[in-house]
Amino acid sequence: MKYNIAVIEGDGIGPEVAAAGVRVLEAVGARFTHQFVFTPVLAGGKAIDETGVPLPASTLEVCRNSDAVLLGAVGGPKWDQLPGHLRPERGLLEIRQGLGLFGNIRPAKVFSALRNASPLKPEVMGDSLDLVVIRELTGGIYFGDRGRDEGGAYDTMRYSEPEIKRIARLAFEVASKRGKKLTNVDKMNVLESSRLWRETVLAVARDYPQVVLEHQLVDNAAMQLIRDPHQFDVIVTGNLFGDILSDEASMLTGSIGMLPSASLGEGTLGLYEPIHGSAPDIAGQHKANPLGTILSTALMLRYSFGLEEEALAVERAVESTLDAGLRTPDLKGGGTVVSTEEMTQAVIDQLNRGGK
């Protein structure tokens, strides 16, 4: 099969980790006889420097005509003084809007080789952890009416039934392919928008009888993630709550450099990126951890291309590489410290061997 992938290298360490993702996808193509065609495009700070805007129209057009988009990282202090509509991060928001991406999938997985890097006590963490937070991206308080009046300010949290239905369906689909358990997180004891949210999730649940649905209030969910994270498989929640809980879940793993993400819409086109920033302080030093990007390519294989065997092969190759004791500088717990390129090559070698 042939797949077209738009590649946004971005800023800081973005080009280094994006190159790692491309190399791994090329290795997947060679092993499983797929053809991946990569088209480099501009967005973020580099786009501002070259075109004056964070997202050129040509970039969005290429992304729309691709099967998936791979992003390294955007932003950096160089562009911090620009007005909001010209900041590098604005380009990322415009891509999501332009591609109709409404759901963010963020796995929080602790590999057994890195379990000691987690801030949780060993008796809480156990040997490993594997959960997913699904966050609604385009509604809620971040996109509601806002302003200031005499002596005060206001922000509006608003959701429509269609917005809730589509993110709920995405969450149920993901849960049905994993452990068949979904935890809905809201604040229905206080917020009217959360009452509609829960009612709508319950209605969608009728179409997924194979998935066990539970509900937690957001304050309790934040506590439970620390007390007993193993009770969760897939979490679905709104924009504000998801922003907070996904960051909390990410820290359970011990390194933000390990974590991938996928932003999806109604179809198969998605945006795939590590959750870490552009880290300009280590750019060009070959210290960047490429595993978040490599694991993002596994999500791409799974969700945009429907290639589950290939996705699992990448994930197993990463696990085998960590089991072999290789570590980039950000990963604690001993082992052999390697460069970005050496870590990438080690994953490719494991992939070619068949992983675990």
Mean pLDDT of 1-26: 98
Catalytic site residue from 46, 109, 186, 187 = 187
Mean pLDDT of 248-273: 93
Per-residue confidence band for 354, with pLDDT thresholds at 50, 70 and 90: confident
Tens-digit pLDDT profile for residues 137-162: 999 999 899 999 999 999 999 999 99
- Please state, rounded to an integer, the average pLDDT across all residues of the chain: 95
CA distance 230 to 225: 8
Mean pLDDT of 243-247: 93
Is pLDDT of 300 > 90?
A: yes
Amino acid at 335: G
CA distance 213 to 210: 9
Tell me whether residue 219 is one of the annotated catalytic residues.
Answer: yes
Is pLDDT of 74 > 60?
A: yes
At 117 the pLDDT is: 85
Mean pLDDT of 35-41: 99
Q: Where are the domains of the chain?
A: 1-100+260-356, 119-252
Could you tell me the pTM of the whole model? 0.93
Per-residue confidence band for 253, with pLDDT thresholds at 50, 70 and 90: confident
Tell me whether residue 142 is one of the annotated catalytic residues.
Answer: yes
Catalytic site residue from 142, 165, 180, 181 = 142
CA distance 348 to 168: 35
| Least confidently predicted of 206-215, 271-280, 330-339 | 330-339
At 251 the pLDDT is: 87
Mean pLDDT of 46-72: 98
**Percent above pLDDT 90 for the chain:** 88
Mean pLDDT of 302-309: 97
Is pLDDT of 190 > 90?
A: yes
Containing H/E element for 243? helix 239-251
Tens-digit pLDDT profile for residues 220-244: 999 999 999 999 999 999 999 999 9
At 255 the pLDDT is: 81
Which DSSP string corresponds to 314-353? HHHHHHHHHHTTEE-TT--S-SEE--HHHHHHHHHHHHHH
CA distance 75 to 46: 9
- CATH topology for 119-252 is Isopropylmalate Dehydrogenase (3.40.718)
Q: Which of 214, 225, 220 is nearest to 249 (CA)?
A: 225
Residues whose CB falls within 8 Å of the CB of residue 41, separated by 6 or more in sequence, listed in order: 6, 7, 8, 56, 58, 59, 62, 63
Catalytic site residue from 78, 130, 180, 247 = 247
Mean pLDDT of 61-77: 98
At 356 the pLDDT is: 52
Catalytic site residue from 67, 186, 233, 243 = 243
Tell me whether residue 243 is one of the annotated catalytic residues.
Answer: yes
Mean pLDDT of 111-138: 90
Per-residue confidence band for 116, with pLDDT thresholds at 50, 70 and 90: confident
Q: Which of 31, 26, 95, 85 is nearest to 64 (CA)?
A: 95
Is pLDDT of 355 > 60?
A: no
Mean pLDDT of 11-39: 98
At 156 the pLDDT is: 96
CATH architecture of the domain with range 1-100+260-356: 3-Layer(aba) Sandwich (3.40)
At 166 the pLDDT is: 98
CA distance 114 to 88: 33
Catalytic site residue from 155, 219, 228, 281 = 219
